[in-house]
Structure 1
Amino acid sequence: MKEYKANEIEAKWQKYWEQIGIHQTEEDLKKPKYYTLEQFPYPSGEGLHMGHMRVYSIGDVIARFRKMNGYRVLHVMGADAFGLPAENAAISRGINPREWTINNMERIRSEQKLIGASYDWDRYVGTCLPDYYQFTQWLFLLLYERGLAYRKKASVNWCPTCSTVLANEQVEDGKCWRCDTEVTKKELEQWFLRITDYAERLLEGLEQLPKWPDKVKAMQRNWIGKSEGAHVTFTIPELENEQVTVFTTRPDTLYGVTYMVLAPEHPLVPQLIKGKETESDILAFIEQMKKQTDIERTSTDTEKIGWFTGAYAKHPLTEKLVPIWVANYVLMDYGTGAVMGVPAHDERDFEFAKKYELPIQVVIRPENDELDEKNLSKAFVEDGILVNSGAFSGMPNRQGLQTIANYLADMKKGGPTVNYRLRDWLISRQRYWGAPIPMIYCESCGVVPVPKEDLPVILPEDVVFDGKRNPLTTSESFAQTTCPSCGKTAQRETDTMDTFIDSSWYFLRYTDAKNSKIPFAKENADGWMPVDEYIGGIEHAVLHLLYSRFFTKVLYDAGMLSVDEPFTSLLTQGMVLKDGAKMSKSKGNVVSPLEIIEKYGADTARLFILFAAPPDRDLDWNDAGVEGSYRFLSRVWRLIVQNKDLFHQELKPNGQSDKEAKELRRLLHQTIKKVTHEIGERNHFNTAISSIMELVNGLYSYPEQADRGTFKEGLETLVILLAPFVPHITEELWEMMDKEGSIHLVSWPIHDPAALVQDEVEIVVQINGKVKEKLMVPTKADRAEIEKLALSQEKVQQLIANKTVRKVIVVPGRLVNIVVG
């Protein structure tokens, strides 16, 4: 018997698919479209891991299934190829990041082909290639033209030794991850995108995404962080009534304000402390805060530390003076950089007030009780009645929320407002390996955009990678340029863009990947967008997905798209674990996809990874499970090879010819229905595969004397149903069956509802509640017929002989219970 040799078969068919261009995207507009997309990988030096294998296998099943169901399918791949790891590799290896990245891209692409994924490689996108980042720059200029890209000073993590900005994750225990120097905060001119202009639309759009996981939508809502409340304006008499505005969600507690806190970075702090006794202490405190990350400062475990500035603010309603403090837990980037302290009704404020012996003023009491601030052991944060609140005393505090906010508006001292936690997107990176920001600085003309016809602004080669500065500043050929407006000598922007920019629109480039004039033509994007199924990790739930939604809405507003949400359905696959832990080199539990492919073949790896768990759950790698998947494929192989003579015969199925043929046909159409539903409606590949395994068992137990045409039909359908999961072995078996063309171009089978109707059903016969017999009865039999059949069984007659039948209970389709005495 011909042996199943996975590696030979897989190499043969991968070569064939490439030769005939089977995976090229169809453009037949008469067919419905289906765009399935897996998040593209970062081309690291480590190659593909099992997490990649899982996401690509999931996407490939969906793409192949949809194609066999008559859709024109867009299924594409690329590389998210810019980023800091390549720059670090360049520094450590002494090579250009381009060389390192391109080599990795080629290796990963070859590994992806080994998996047998059905990508249209003609539409491959690499974000580090000039023909891609040309249009990343083009889109930046569009954002600039629409007032959505702007430049301002911002506080950044700065390593004085490396002379570079560090992301929060590159600061470890307050020190630079690379050189261990203490990190400080530094004000630098940075480029931002006004994502806050879209905060409400990003929030509302989540309601239009029923096929997104609730968990992901909740994470985005929390990140946007909409809160309704009021702005309240305090004045500072000693600064000639300079105003400070705070945002609060609790204007009902305004009369309970006993102090105010400013962020250490607040621009008014230097003026407030000048000449005061604590000036030098507070300045030292501010320098100390520059060395802490925002996460460290706002952690619930971090001790709240503050200093009194020596200055006071005037309460907008009572006109009492309240002390102004600076404290570590208030951040300039959140709200207005100022908060009002209401210790009687806020747990954090209560803790701070107790520590520094600040006044506590109760302004809400329980409905049927009193509160004494002198005896408070914790803040009262429940609803109640307003007290000590001027004209608003006696009012339920919930009513006071809006009433006091409206009163502030009437007094022109604030008023109702909506606040968002979301901040504008800082995109400047002081790195080489990213898309250069296409802006020029001219002494005469100011900030000048690079004309679109001059794009791309190419990354230069004459740079120095020493880990001590932004490499782009070392290239004279790059930094020195000519102003496009006046022709004078000018300076080019040496910051590059955040790599999240690259991945915020790549799904659109795939729709028109060869366009050399614009990022994509509207008619091409409209022909494919939105993505029907987007597959990737939950770790991208907030930033990447939020930024992609932002870009899509901007391009919709610019008339470049007809949709304003990029992804209709989102599938967030679980992690691949080994021995209950995430695979990692440090744990020594990494399993390489290439090792499994070499030993068992890609089809076995795919089958196991799809069968072992639902796609949204974590999957625990199991060597025995892999072996079991290989045995199953070998079993399918033997089933076809042993019966290959059938495929040379003209046999028509006759599912009504005998009982066994009828039962096999019912099982076959049950399986078609189940697999179609589990892939097409639920993405539950594990249960689809399980039902195919039951079909294989049914085919193995089918008697030789039963109708051979029905058996042949069952074998052919089995191979078609398996094709999306294990594309190579099914292609080989299809050829073995003397079928013309690729199995992946065959139409998906449709179940016959009539085949599912059963003529007979098995029921159990009980005597006094205990099962004594089983029998087949016609499905249309009524209760009387079923009772008669049960009582006529020889075994039953023996058991009830010489006993009185007191009652017979019939449950059609399930059981007969004979009660005897």
Structure 2
Amino acid sequence: MSETNVMESERQGRYVPAEIEPKWQARWDADAALYAAEGHDSGKPKFYCIEMLPYPSGKLHMGHVRNYSIGDALARHMWMRGYNVLHPMGWDAFGLPAENAALKNNTPPREWTLANIAAMREQMRRIGFSYDWATEVTTCLPEYYRWNQWFFLKMYEAGLAYRKKSKVNWCPECQTVLANEQVVDGRCWRHEDTIVEQRDLTQWFLRITKYADELLDGLDKLDGWPEKVRTMQRNWIGRSEGTLVDFAVAGSADKITVFTTRVDTIFGATSVQLAPEHAVAKAFAAEDAALAVKIDELLEQQKRAREAGDVGAIEKHGVPTGRFAVNPFNGEPVPIWVANYILADYGTGAIMSVPAHDERDFEFAEKYGLEVRRVIALKSGETELPFTAEEDAVLVGSGEWTGLGCEDAQRKMAAFAKENGFGTATVTYRLKDWGVSRQRYWGTPIPMVYCVNGHAGVEAGGVVPLPENALPVVLPEQVEITQQGGSPLGRVVGFVETKCPVCGGPARRETDTMDTFVDSSWYFYRYADAKNSAAPFDSDKANYWFPIDQYIGGVEHAILHLIYSRFWTKVMRDLGLIKNDEPAERLFTQGMVIKDGAKMSKSKGNVVSPDDMIARYGADATRMYALFAAPPDRDLDWQEDGVAGVSRFLGRVHRLTTKYAGAAGGSGESAAGQELLRKLHQTIGKITHDFGGRWHFNTSIASIMILVNEIAAKEASMDAGEVSGEVMAQVFRGLTLLLAPFAPFLAAELWEQLGGEGAVFRTPWPVADEALAREDEVEIPVQMNGKLVNVVKVPAGSDEAAVKAAALADAKVTARVEGKAVVKVIVVPGKLVNLVVK
């Protein structure tokens, strides 16, 4: 053989990802239907698998790669299982970062965003993710956001979209309003160091509270969602059953309405406390200048606590107003106080204070010397105050209700309040309506105008919805972006000035844009029919694909995106567009990628680029490491050495498969061949089980490594012709199929070398032969006082007595036991034997 041919032979035998991976990506790109779903009439069982769509920031990092690798492995596996798989990708493309980039780089948001999308799409292709790009969705394009506007009009018609003036959360950094869900510990969800302010503004809201009970009750049916996510949503919805009770203000026509979950304790109320901004508190302040100063001080304390993000831990201060309220149950006057820990936007902004049976009230009463009056006691005797329990407790000192159990008293006292016109049983929620107005440019224009002169049924400046044929309201492209208050759209005369669609007179467009969580609340429905220009999607297609079989994303979206998308699904169901009640049957929240002790993110400056890893080790090794280094639901501590190790392993697989692909081998069965088949079918069984359970992809990949070790250990036997060609073909074909979900490029290359037909991930998943997988013998470690002595082999299925006998008969064990007393023999069936000796 010439020197050139020798070098070519050596080159062909090496694993070179930089040659293999672009080759296969080009082939996959040429076959546009390769990753496409087969439609809603395929006759196959469907499997809809998606990962949460990313914001197009310009670059993927390893946190993204891990998330998408999980979904990609699952999608490829389900193709091999014979399912009709929909595995799409899109872009959550509106949002403030594009405006910030426009300010920083003098680049229009649209141009910046679309360039980032192109770059990230190319990264995803290079990594080999199996997305059907024909279904791609980009939320900043008119063909998508026109349907945001259409939904808004439908919600307006149904009374779910409305406009009102209210106290809202204002981020001075974003220069826009935030929804309650976007305020974390008093700070902006985008800017951890920016304190959110309270402002009075007129805004658009979506009536999510209409669905509060259904959102809450539906959580009990979402068995495929993590309990942590369901608990977070339950707490955020915050349903409380209780009673509204009116306390008349003595000497006045005013009344103070309080909400209490424990009306059974009302005889123990020794004060009524108001938020500093309560209307009655303001009325008192208007009559008493000294009191007004003190109330302002309380308000300032509350403001500082909000800024610190911890109103719940505020040092409690209050001032007496000198006025009294009348307890409607016993006619007793109780002092009215104003307190800094009572919030105007929580409940009614007023409470009845029952120090004996509420820890917070007790703390306040102790500080200011207010009466503490017990009205609940255990049947079994006295307890230390404050005492809050309801079980085995009865009312004392509570008039005609004395002696009743707490729950019974709550029902009867609420009914009494209603009968006598001063209260009613009610339900309250922590969940508030979703404020969707944003005073920024880069978002969906709200399809409303304000008729300047007014017309029949609409006053001057009144709201008029646009007709559907006026959609989309296209976002103008040439807009000057500044950080001044108010939407930049307000300064675009050609956008603002328009005509009223009803009277034809002059009108002014709404200049607020929609919260970007509107875009992500329904995008996965658009994937089912991404090119539809006549409707958001075809209902038949959506009803085939939904609910999503597997949704994958971060737990940080539990309150924001996930609760909004559940709301949007219920609205679409009520509009008759879909039949499902929930968007996703199963939800998986992956762990974070940690580097240098912190979550990998651009803001932390600890991002690892997948491009660098691919250049050094290949895409397969990069994504396979992300699946191998930790269970997918746990945090992954990034180590580049791990990627290098996986790359070496894949090189070993390539060498072995290339060497024995098509090898003739020996004839007949041999012990070496049987051991290889046994290990192969054990591995098939293990990985099949992992895909069906909690996706222990790390142990799946570890089992593939063990299989490869077994193959390498039999290399001499294969070279000597002791393993038949049929067995070798079965082993290497099986190995390649098992590898396909995790390392698709290499699997495609090896499949071709092995003579496999068609795409490897469209080939049926191997089925474990239980008879072949069964061990004739099993190895049992034998320990003495917890330290390993030897490993003995026993027939598979041996009972405890046989395992014990084999351990005690082993020569190494008997030698170590000689001269000692065996106190106890502990047998863990199939696992180990431990001798306790003296």
Matched-pair contact (CA < 8 Å) for 1:537–1:572: yes
Partner residue of 1:557 out of 574, 583, 586: 574
Partner residue of 1:56 out of 56, 68, 79: 68
Matched-pair contact (CA < 8 Å) for 1:556–1:563: yes
Secondary structure, aligned partner of 2:578: coil
The CA deviation string for residues 312-358 of structure 1, in whole angstroms up to 9 with x for no partner, is 32211122222333333222322122211112211111222233333
- Whether 2:470 is the aligned partner of 1:454: answer yes
Rounded Cα–Cα distance in structure 2 between residues aligned with 1:387 and 1:351? 22
Secondary structure, aligned partner of 2:549: strand
Partner residue of 1:235 out of 248, 251, 258: 248
Change (3 A) 1:310 1:628: same
Secondary structure, aligned partner of 1:260: strand
Using the TM superposition, name which of 748-757 and 551-560 deviates more.
748-757
Partner residue of 2:314 out of 302, 310, 334: 302
The CA deviation string for residues 631-655 of structure 1, in whole angstroms up to 9 with x for no partner, is 1101101111221342xx5x8996x
Partner residue of 1:20 out of 13, 16, 31: 31
Using the TM superposition, name which of 510-519 and 159-168 deviates more.
159-168
Task: Identify the residue that residue 426 of structure 1 maps to in structure 2.
Answer: 435
- Whether 2:450 is the aligned partner of 1:412: answer no
Using the TM superposition, name which of 415-424 and 523-532 deviates more.
415-424
Task: Identify the residue that residue 50 of structure 2 maps to in structure 1.
Answer: 37
Shift in Å at residue 435 of structure 1? 0.8
Change (3 A) 1:579 1:527: same
- Whether 2:94 is the aligned partner of 1:66: answer no
Rounded Cα–Cα distance in structure 2 between residues aligned with 1:30 and 1:452? 36
Rounded Cα–Cα distance in structure 1 between residues aligned with 2:173 and 2:594? 39
Using the TM superposition, name which of 340-349 and 561-570 deviates more.
340-349
State TM-score, norm by structure 1.
0.89
Q: Structure 2 unaligned segments of length 5 or more: list them.
A: 1-9, 818-824
Shift in Å at residue 556 of structure 1? 1.2
Rounded Cα–Cα distance in structure 2 between residues aligned with 1:157 and 1:633? 53
Matched-pair contact (CA < 8 Å) for 2:312–2:341: no
Partner residue of 2:481 out of 446, 465, 475: 465
Partner residue of 2:544 out of 510, 527, 543: 527
Matched-pair contact (CA < 8 Å) for 2:273–2:336: yes
Using the TM superposition, name which of 269-278 and 96-105 deviates more.
269-278
Task: Identify the residue that residue 618 of structure 1 maps to in structure 2.
Answer: 635
Task: Identify the residue that residue 662 of structure 1 maps to in structure 2.
Answer: 674
- Whether 2:749 is the aligned partner of 1:737: answer no
Rounded Cα–Cα distance in structure 2 between residues aligned with 1:510 and 1:158? 34
The residue type paired with residue 757 of structure 1 is R
RMSD: 3.8
Task: Identify the residue that residue 437 of structure 1 maps to in structure 2.
Answer: 446
Change (3 A) 1:757 1:171: closer
Matched-pair contact (CA < 8 Å) for 2:236–2:431: yes
Using the TM superposition, name which of 109-118 and 754-763 deviates more.
754-763
Shift in Å at residue 762 of structure 1? 6.0
Rounded Cα–Cα distance in structure 1 between residues aligned with 2:164 and 2:116? 36
Shift in Å at residue 264 of structure 1? 2.7
Q: Describe how 1:680-759 pairs up with structure 2 within 5 A.
A: 680-702=692-714, 703-704=717-718, 705-759=722-776
Matched-pair contact (CA < 8 Å) for 1:596–1:605: yes
Task: Identify the residue that residue 205 of structure 1 maps to in structure 2.
Answer: 218
Rounded Cα–Cα distance in structure 1 between residues aligned with 2:293 and 2:139? 49
Partner residue of 2:403 out of 394, 397, 400: 394
- Whether 2:576 is the aligned partner of 1:567: answer no
Task: Identify the residue that residue 489 of structure 1 maps to in structure 2.
Answer: 506
Using the TM superposition, name which of 312-321 and 555-564 deviates more.
312-321
Matched-pair contact (CA < 8 Å) for 1:151–1:190: yes
Shift in Å at residue 586 of structure 1? 6.8
Partner residue of 1:671 out of 683, 702, 706: 683
Using the TM superposition, name which of 8-17 and 509-518 deviates more.
8-17
Rounded Cα–Cα distance in structure 1 between residues aligned with 2:297 and 2:56? 43
Rounded Cα–Cα distance in structure 2 between residues aligned with 1:811 and 1:174? 54
Using the TM superposition, name which of 668-677 and 57-66 deviates more.
668-677
Using the TM superposition, name which of 86-95 and 55-64 deviates more.
86-95
Change (3 A) 1:286 1:148: farther
Using the TM superposition, name which of 164-173 and 547-556 deviates more.
164-173
The residue type paired with residue 323 of structure 2 is A
Task: Identify the residue that residue 822 of structure 2 maps to in structure 1.
Answer: none
The CA deviation string for residues 292-322 of structure 1, in whole angstroms up to 9 with x for no partner, is 5757475333222333344332211122222
Change (3 A) 1:528 1:295: farther
State TM-score, norm by structure 2.
0.87
Change (3 A) 1:303 1:774: closer
Rounded Cα–Cα distance in structure 1 between residues aligned with 2:168 and 2:828? 74
Q: Describe how 1:761-776 pairs up with structure 2 within 5 A.
A: none
Shift in Å at residue 116 of structure 1? 0.7
Q: Describe how 1:773-788 pairs up with structure 2 within 5 A.
A: none
Q: Describe how 1:78-117 pairs up with structure 2 within 5 A.
A: 78-117=90-129
Q: Describe how 1:792-803 pairs up with structure 2 within 5 A.
A: none
Matched-pair contact (CA < 8 Å) for 1:669–1:756: yes
Matched-pair contact (CA < 8 Å) for 2:554–2:591: yes
Task: Identify the residue that residue 352 of structure 1 maps to in structure 2.
Answer: 364
Secondary structure, aligned partner of 2:589: strand
The residue type paired with residue 561 of structure 2 is H
Using the TM superposition, name which of 94-103 and 611-620 deviates more.
94-103
The residue type paired with residue 224 of structure 1 is I
Matched-pair contact (CA < 8 Å) for 1:699–1:711: no
Task: Identify the residue that residue 343 of structure 2 maps to in structure 1.
Answer: 331
Rounded Cα–Cα distance in structure 1 between residues aligned with 2:381 and 2:621? 70
Change (3 A) 1:495 1:282: farther
Change (3 A) 1:774 1:510: closer
Shift in Å at residue 370 of structure 1? 5.4
Shift in Å at residue 739 of structure 1? 2.8
Change (3 A) 1:793 1:518: closer
Matched-pair contact (CA < 8 Å) for 1:158–1:164: yes
Task: Identify the residue that residue 805 of structure 1 maps to in structure 2.
Answer: none
- Whether 2:329 is the aligned partner of 1:314: answer no
Secondary structure, aligned partner of 2:44: coil
Matched-pair contact (CA < 8 Å) for 1:114–1:602: yes
Rounded Cα–Cα distance in structure 2 between residues aligned with 1:780 and 1:730? 36
Task: Identify the residue that residue 222 of structure 1 maps to in structure 2.
Answer: 235
Rounded Cα–Cα distance in structure 2 between residues aligned with 1:463 and 1:814? 70
Secondary structure, aligned partner of 2:37: coil
Partner residue of 1:10 out of 21, 31, 35: 21
Using the TM superposition, name which of 278-287 and 732-741 deviates more.
278-287
Using the TM superposition, name which of 706-715 and 322-331 deviates more.
322-331
Rounded Cα–Cα distance in structure 2 between residues aligned with 1:513 and 1:188? 37
The CA deviation string for residues 224-259 of structure 1, in whole angstroms up to 9 with x for no partner, is 11122222122224442x333221111111111122
Shift in Å at residue 732 of structure 1? 1.2
Q: How many residues align?
A: 799
Rounded Cα–Cα distance in structure 2 between residues aligned with 1:167 and 1:575? 26
Rounded Cα–Cα distance in structure 2 between residues aligned with 1:369 and 1:569? 49
Task: Identify the residue that residue 803 of structure 1 maps to in structure 2.
Answer: none
Matched-pair contact (CA < 8 Å) for 1:9–1:728: yes
The CA deviation string for residues 662-715 of structure 1, in whole angstroms up to 9 with x for no partner, is 222121111111111101332111111111111111111222212231122101
